[in-house]
């Protein structure tokens, strides 16, 4: 398999600007019409531990990261030690020659396992355990090494602005590394300068100085290394309006569009970025103008033009979910956003929402568990828990998004389902999605429809001032005026209750109420169209049928493209609505499949278990990963190839990623 895209990596200590430099790189590439996919890996730490950012760019559509690095941009020694051997033959490493003598044992943040493995390499190859040694090892593997005298270039840059403080100049190190990278692949210098200026748009002097740093890097590379690196990167003409989005803001934007006006959260990685985005964009435009289809001017003119979302940082996740349910009781689209440990605390609250038929959306950013687990790393270990969290039985819908675009539209669906079926909806996203960045075609807000189900704003049929909130209806859904509606009152309770909402332990009433609530899942199963529940990719008949869910989607699709070129046909069933499960469709599809392969980022193959439970079809071949690093398209490609050749164990565990 040969890639014709470009995989770039930058690393450094957390808090040293790795993130912003990667964003500059990604935006410069995106502005040049290229397709970009980036992802970030970091420790549960504020400052000092190693973090790195991969940005993959291509003129064609890409949806995932790869493990091999075409170019590694560094400005300190730890990144060199950790990632130099990930660079492919004919790839490049950019580094500061002042680091040459830095020794491996002087880097306290490198774990003993990593250090021992590297030391073994040094001994085996007869090299000194320092930067020079590791770069020599890379050179022997065919990697081009590019020393860049950062300090000299920074001083030259500073002299043009009268800036002599070295610490001030060193804030431009990242940009220098980005610019040197682009210069080596002969990318348009102006696009890089533009991206830098945009990044520093609020600090004009810094913007100018960083743009000058870009110029200096280009000048140096042009004079010293012109034409030495074979890979070239050129802008292309992109079609249509494109966006460059950060994963953690996608769900937030969609929540605003969906009309979510109350969000609660307790700080947790990686979920709280979403709530912080909402806090920062709490005030929003609300458009009162009539639509083409609906020119009821008077009605819409009354709509207010400014709205806001109320975001509350609560004392814990129990408060977060129960406050959100309170918002739902008051008739407001409400949500909370969390990760595994917080979700565990929400179990009882979700049961209350189920029992009381309150719409509420819980956005669950799954991360490495159990317990505190791997708080900043990726895993899809919460699917079973999302399906079953809480005591007793209550209806819930569980949907899982596969990429950022899906996460956007699924967010709106989550609110629609929660109001239509008057219950809790768990929207599963994950760390890999939250910390990925990608170019996307313009989002189509015209595709978005809001369906509030039987939400009503008045009570006209109260008897003696009392309204039957849980009224018997043929399909189990009762009209839902919020608390505070004029014309009557009703009650809510976590106890079993009658139609008014008063406590009732009557067995006949209990039967009815259980059937009313649980029947809503059957109703959702009948009503929600298949295209909103599954995606199917590839030929109808294929050698391999992959079954997966969530953020493995992009890597699977990219791997399928390569496998197709190798003559291996693969199709892919992505389950998006896990409850109610699309049993009939999946049964029919899988009963025709030649070889079914379950691909999941967890230990046990949770979806595959659900598939067996629902369809009675066993999936014998599993590809799983639980080391906290998302699956790359390369390793899925290799895995499926191994399976195709009959060389894979029944449970193939993927291990890559630093």
Partner 1 sequence: MALKFSDLKTTAHNDWCPGCGDFGILNAAHMALAEMNVDPSNTVVVSGVGCSGKAPHFTKTYGVHTLHGRSLPFATGIKLANPNLEVVVEGGDGDGMGIGAGHFVNSGRRNVDMLYIIHDNEVYGLTKGQAAPTMGLGMKTKSLTAPNINQGINPIMLAIASGYTWVARGYAYDVRHLKDLIIKGIRHKGFAFLDVLQPCPTYNDIQSKEYWAGEGNLDASGKPQPRTYKLEDTGYDGVVHTQDEAEMESKVQKAVLKSFEFGDHTPIGVFYQNEFIPTYEERLAGRSPSYKTNPPAAQEIARPDGTPTTNISKLLEELRVS
Q: Return the residues of window 256-275 that contact partner 1 according to CB under 8 A.
A: 256-259, 261-262, 264
Q: Which of residues 339-358 bind partner 1 (CB under 8 A)?
A: 348-349, 352
User: Judged by CB under 8 A, which of 309, 578, 597, 623 binds partner 1?
Assistant: 309
Which range in 199-207, 289-297, 396-404, 607-615 contacts partner 1 by CB under 8 A?
A: 289-297
Rounded to the nearest whole angstrom, what is the least distance from the CB of residue 237 to partner 1 in the complex? 9
> Using CA atoms, how far apart are residues 251 and 551, in angstroms rounded to an integer?
14
Residue 240 contacts residue 442 (beta carbons within 8 Å): yes
Half-sphere exposure of 312 (CA within 13 A, CB side): 20
Tokens representing 265?
């959260």
Q: How far is the CB of 450 from partner 1 (least distance, A)?
A: 4
Contacts to partner 1 from residues 222-251, by CB under 8 A: 238, 241-245
In the complex with partner 1, which residue's Cβ is closer, 44 or 344?
344
Give the helix/strand (H/E) hosting 410.
helix 404-420
- Give, as ranges, the residues between 79 and 138 that touch partner 1 (CB under 8 A): none
Decide if residue 297 touches partner 1 (CB under 8 A).
Answer: no
Nearest to 571 by CA among 548, 587, 552, 550: 548
Residues 524-583 contacting partner 1, CB under 8 A: none
- Tell me if 283 contacts partner 1 by CB under 8 A: yes
User: Partners of 58 in the beta sheet?
Assistant: 35
Interface with partner 1, residue 331, by CB under 8 A? yes
Output the smallest distance, CB 454 to partner 1, in A: 14
Rounded to whole angstroms, how far apart are CA atoms 500 and 466? 7
Q: Which of residues 501-520 bind partner 1 (CB under 8 A)?
A: 501-503
Rounded to the nearest 5 degrees, what angle is found at the Cα of 422, between the Cα atoms of 419 and 426? Answer: 80
- The C-alpha angle 154, 155, 156, rounded to 5 degrees, equals 90
Residue 479 within binding range of partner 1, rule CB under 8 A: no
Q: How far apart are CA 461 and CA 606, in angstroms?
A: 47
**What residues from 386 to 445 belong to the interface with partner 1 (CB under 8 A)?**
439, 442-443, 445
Cis peptide before 580 (omega within 30 of 0): yes
As measured in angstroms, the least distance from the Cβ of 622 to partner 1 is: 37
Enter the tokens of residue 144: 């081009």
Beta-carbon neighbour count of residue 643 at 10 Å? 22
Considering only the stretches 1-9, 57-65, 112-120, 484-492, report the one whose residues sit in contact with partner 1 under the rule CB under 8 A.
Answer: 484-492
Q: For residues 246-269, b (16+ Cβ closer than 10 Å) or e, as one string?
A: bbbbbbbbbbbbbbbbbbbbbebb
- The mark string for 37-56 relative to partner 1 (x by CB under 8 A, - otherwise) is --------------------
Q: Which is nearer to partner 1, 60 or 566 (CB)?
A: 60
Pick from 145, 207, 448, 523 the residue near partner 1 by CB under 8 A. Answer: 448
For residues 625 and 599, is the Cβ–Cβ distance under 8 A?
no
Taking contact as CB under 8 A, which single stretch among the options 87-95, 181-189, 290-298, 564-572 is the one that binds partner 1?
290-298
The nearest distance, CB 513 to partner 1, in angstroms, is: 15
Of 161, 270, 261, 292, the residue nearest 216 (C-alpha)? 161
Q: By C-beta, is 125 or 291 nearer to partner 1? A: 291
| Size, binding site for partner 1 by CB under 8 A | 93
Using CA atoms, how far apart are residues 163 and 13, in angstroms rounded to an integer? 25
- Cβ distance to partner 1 smaller for residue 2 or 237: 237
Q: Is residue 314 involved in binding partner 1 (CB under 8 A)?
A: yes
Report, in Å, the least distance between residue 223 CB and partner 1. 31
Inter-axis angle of helices 189-199 and 204-225, to 10 degrees?
150
Residue 246 tokens, joined: 């950060």
Which one, of 637, 644, 628, 647, lies nearest residue 556 by Cα? Answer: 637
298 binds partner 1 (CB under 8 A): no
27 binds partner 1 (CB under 8 A): yes
Task: Compute the CA torsion angle 94, 99, 105, 109 (nearest 10 deg).
Answer: -60
Read off the tokens for 563.
């496998």
Q: Residues 1, 61, 166, 330: which binds partner 1 (CB under 8 A)?
A: 330
Please report whether residue 623 would count as binding partner 1 according to CB under 8 A.
Answer: no
Instruction: List the one residue from 61, 226, 297, 303 that touches partner 1 (CB under 8 A).
Output: 303
Q: Is 33 in the site for partner 1 (CB under 8 A)?
A: yes
Task: Name the one range near partner 1 by CB under 8 A: 13-21, 428-436, 483-491, 561-569.
Answer: 483-491
Q: Pick between residue 173 and residue 443 the one whose CB is nearest to partner 1.
A: 443
Q: Could you tell me which stretch among 169-177, 338-346, 488-496, 614-622 binds partner 1 (CB under 8 A)?
A: 488-496
Task: Pick between residue 253 and residue 361 the one whose CB is nearest to partner 1.
Answer: 253
Integer angstrom CA distances of residue 563 from 65, 637, 646, 653: 16, 7, 15, 20
Q: Does residue 191 belong to the site contacting partner 1 (CB under 8 A)?
A: no
Alpha-helix residue ranges (DSSP H) falling in 537-605: 553-565, 583-591
Give the three-class secondary structure for 648. Answer: coil
Q: Pick the closer one to partner 1 by CB: 267 or 494.
A: 494
Judged by beta carbon, residue 92 or residue 346, the one nearer partner 1 is 346
């Amino acid at each position: 398999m040969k890639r014709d895209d470009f995989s770039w990596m930058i690393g450094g200590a957390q808090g040293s600007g790795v993130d912003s430099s990667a964003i500059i790189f990604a935006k410069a590439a995106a502005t040049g019409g290229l397709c970009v996919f980036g992802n970030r890996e970091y420790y549960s730490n504020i400052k000092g531990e190693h973090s790195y950012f991969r940005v993959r760019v291509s003129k064609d559509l890409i949806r995932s990261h790869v493990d091999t690095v075409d170019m590694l941009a560094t400005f300190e020694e730890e990144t060199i030690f950790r990632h130099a051997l990930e660079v492919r033959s004919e790839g490049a490493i950019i580094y500061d020659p002042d680091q040459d003598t830095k020794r491996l044992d002087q880097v306290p943040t490198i774990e003993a396992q990593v250090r021992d493995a590297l030391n073994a390499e040094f001994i085996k190859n007869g090299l000194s355990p320092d930067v020079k040694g590791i770069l020599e090892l890379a050179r022997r593997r065919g990697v081009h090494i590019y020393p860049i005298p950062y300090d000299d270039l920074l001083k030259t840059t500073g002299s043009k602005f009268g800036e002599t403080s070295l610490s001030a100049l060193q804030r431009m190190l990242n940009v220098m590394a980005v610019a040197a990278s682009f210069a080596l692949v002969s990318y348009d210098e102006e696009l890089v300068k533009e991206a830098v200026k945009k990044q520093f748009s609020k600090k004009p002097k810094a913007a100018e100085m960083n743009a000058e740093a870009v110029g200096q890097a280009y000048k140096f590379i042009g004079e010293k290394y012109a034409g030495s690196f074979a890979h070239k990167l050129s802008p292309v003409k992109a079609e249509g309006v494109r966006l460059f989005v950060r994963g953690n803001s996608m769900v937030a934007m969609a929540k605003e569009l969906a009309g979510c006006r109350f969000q609660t959260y307790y700080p947790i990685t990686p979920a709280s970025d979403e709530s912080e985005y909402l806090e920062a964009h709490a005030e929003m435009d609300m458009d009162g103008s009539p639509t083409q289809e609906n020119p009821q001017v008077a009605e819409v003119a009354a709509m207010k033009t400014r709205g806001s979302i109320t975001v509350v940082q609560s004392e814990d996740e129990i408060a977060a979910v129960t406050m959100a349910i309170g918002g739902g009781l008051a008739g407001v689209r409400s949500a909370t956003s969390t990760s595994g440990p917080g979700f565990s605390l929400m179990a009882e609250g979700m049961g209350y929402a189920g029992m009381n038929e309150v719409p509420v959306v819980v956005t669950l950013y799954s991360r490495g568990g159990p317990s505190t687990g791997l708080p900043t790393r990726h895993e899809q270990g919460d699917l079973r828990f999302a399906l079953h969290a809480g005591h007793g039985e209550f209806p819930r819908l569980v949907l899982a998004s596969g990429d950022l675009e899906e996460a956007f539209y699924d967010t709106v669906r989550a609110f629609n389902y929660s109001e239509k079926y008057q219950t809790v909806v768990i929207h599963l996203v994950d760390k890999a999605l939250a910390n990925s960045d990608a170019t996307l075609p313009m989002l189509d807000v015209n595709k978005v429809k809001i369906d509030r189900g039987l939400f009503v704003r008045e009570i006209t049929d109260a008897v003696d001032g009392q309204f039957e909130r849980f009224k018997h209806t043929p399909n189990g859904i009762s009209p839902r005026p919020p608390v505070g509606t004029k014309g009557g009152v009703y009650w809510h309770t976590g106890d079993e209750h009658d139609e008014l909402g008063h406590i009732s332990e009557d067995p006949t009433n209990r039967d009815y109420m259980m059937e009313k609530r649980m029947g809503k899942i059957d109703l959702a199963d009948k009503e929600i169209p298949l295209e909103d529940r599954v995606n199917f990719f590839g030929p109808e008949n294929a050698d391999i049928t992959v079954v997966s869910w969530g953020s493995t989607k992009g890597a699977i699709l990219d791997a399928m493209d390569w496998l197709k070129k190798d003559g291996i046909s693969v199709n892919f069933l992505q389950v998006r609505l896990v409850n109610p499960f699309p049993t009939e469709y999946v049964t029919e599809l899988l009963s025709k499949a030649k070889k079914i392969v379950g691909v999941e980022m967890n230990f046990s193959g949770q979806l595959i278990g659900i598939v067996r439970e629902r369809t009675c079809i066993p999936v014998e071949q599993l590809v799983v990963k639980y080391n906290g690093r998302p699956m790359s398209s390369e390793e899925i490609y290799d895995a499926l190839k191994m399976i195709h050749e009959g060389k894979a164990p029944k449970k193939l565990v993927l291990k890559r990623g630093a």
